[in-house]
Amino acid sequence: MVDPLWTSAEIAAAVSGTASADFSVSGVAFDSREIGPGDLFIALSGETTDGHRFLDQAFAQGAAGAIVSTQCAHPHVRVADTGAALNALGAAARERMAGKVIGVTGSVGKTGTKEALFAALNRVRPGSAHRSVKSYNNHTGVPLSLARMPRDTRYGIFEMGMNHAGELTGLTKLVRPHVAIVTAIAPAHTEFFRDESAIADAKGEIFIGLQPGGTAIVPFDSPHCDRLIAAAKPHAARIVTFGLSEGAEVHPIERMRTLSGGTFVTARLGETELSFTISQPGDHWVSNSLALLAAVQAVGGDLAAAGLALADLGGLPGRGARFAVPVGEGEAWIIDESYNANPSSMRATLAVLAAQTATRKLAVLGDMRELGVGSAEYHAALAGPVGEAGIKWAILVGEEMKALAKALEGRIDFVHVPDAAAARDRLLAELAPGDAVLIKGSNGIGLGAVVAALAGKG
């Protein structure tokens, strides 16, 4: 018989609450739409809605129990504050976990690196690794991901995000990683920071939560490498650098593009050499893989299995997934990067499109949000990478893309549209057999709807 994730007695002890009945749960959620049979529903009270309104719905969907702060007719644990209870349950999950924990942050690459780490560490013994799902990386997503961690987990991998200074401190103290990775520093959320060095300082907060004997993994090729090393020194027993340059402790000795668009790499990790293939295209994935290998080595994982996992890794929806759609007598290839965008990730994915073999290369590029006073300059600077990618026609989406539209005048054919719906209609009318289409923008611009429309063609 499989042990429950939590019993009502364990929940009550963890959150300093009172249980109405004996029950056990196999999962945890605070979104009633995600509740399934046997789950614990945490009724959070927010600015726009109150989870207590959805208690009946949650139990109708099979919830086994709930954490509440009001009267409840269903099995529950009652507390004064359900938000604080979520945090406490996450802390209790971390406390009872005897394995190794890896924390991941960065301006770009953190979700892909987190997913790749899970695949690498879970490969040898399926079910031994746990990770935060989706991009649950904030003040509610992190404790939820911890609370979902089975008690016998051997490896836990948790993504941590922020858009203000100080946010990562609280998250990393909750996660308490044995290994902390900063994937890269890039202009993202610059609306909330004076400059890129301030972003580096905020990302460097992840090292504050390192456990005794912990390892900090730092991007060597970043201009902020020394700054990150300085942030790590008070907290890390060991600091490992990774990057494409030979000066990094973990770096490629050789790399070459494969026929499928990925990269074959021979990497040096201290005294160890490892050859492996990365299925995902682009130098940014080579860099991500090096950080991954450093982390796997630091927690005593199987490097060979990690290499095999990188070869099998598929693209994530909104973050590099690829699929074909029928067009006329042929098909077009879609590169789905619709989940998020900043200047660094835009350049990286435009470079991926540049290497793509296609009859014609198209791009649907949406606004990059939260770039503050430098937004127009950041958008206009994409004109060079767009040209280098060999794009024949582009759809620019949103108000911020006006700056790129102006910079591209006379250079390539493009249209500028106000929203995702208009972009969808123009792309569907224009798409031809043999096209390769990159779709990328900040999540708020809604280009996922364009991807969904294309996926529905099949």
What's the pLDDT tens digit per position in 327-378?
989 999 999 999 889 998 999 999 999 988 899 999 999 999 988 888 999 9
pLDDT of 456 reads 83
pLDDT band at residue 135 using 50, 70 and 90 as cut-offs: confident
Q: What would the pLDDT profile of 271-321 be if each residue is shown by its tens digit?
A: 999 999 999 988 999 999 999 999 999 999 999 999 999 999 988 888 888
pLDDT band at residue 186 using 50, 70 and 90 as cut-offs: confident
pLDDT of 48 reads 81
Averaged pLDDT of the chain: 94
3 or 332, greater pLDDT: 332
pLDDT of 68 reads 97
Q: Is the pLDDT of residue 134 over 80?
A: no
pLDDT band at residue 191 using 50, 70 and 90 as cut-offs: low
pLDDT of 190 reads 60
pLDDT of 46 reads 80
State mean pLDDT over 91-96: 98
Angle at 181 between CA 232 and CA 262, to 5 degrees: 145
pLDDT band at residue 163 using 50, 70 and 90 as cut-offs: confident
Q: Alpha-carbon distance 187 to 344, whole Å?
A: 7
Length of the chain: 458
Asked if residue 421 lies in contact with residue 449, where contact means CB atoms within 8 angstroms, the answer is yes
Residue 302 φ then ψ, to 5°: -90, 110
pLDDT band at residue 88 using 50, 70 and 90 as cut-offs: very high
Q: What would the pLDDT profile of 30-74 be if each residue is shown by its tens digit?
A: 999 999 999 999 999 887 889 999 999 999 999 999 999 999 999
pLDDT of 458 reads 42
DSSP state of 261: S
DSSP state of 68: E
pLDDT of 393 reads 96
State mean pLDDT over 403-422: 95
**Structure tokens belonging to residue 131:** 């990770």
DSSP state of 328: T
Rounded to two decimals, what is the model's pTM?
A: 0.86
pLDDT band at residue 179 using 50, 70 and 90 as cut-offs: very high
pLDDT of 189 reads 58
Q: What would the pLDDT profile of 211-233 be if each residue is shown by its tens digit?
A: 999 999 999 999 999 999 999 99
Residue 150: CA count within 13 A, CB half-sphere: 12
Q: Alpha-carbon distance 71 to 24, whole Å?
A: 20
pLDDT of 1 reads 56
75 or 317, greater pLDDT: 75
Amino acid letter for position 424: R
State mean pLDDT over 109-114: 93
State mean pLDDT over 140-147: 96
Domains of the chain, with CATH numbers?
6-82 (3.40.1390.10), 97-312 (3.40.1190.10), 321-455 (3.90.190.20)
Measured from the Cβ of residue 253, the count of other Cβ atoms closer than 10 Å reads: 12
Residue with tokens 């989870």: 51
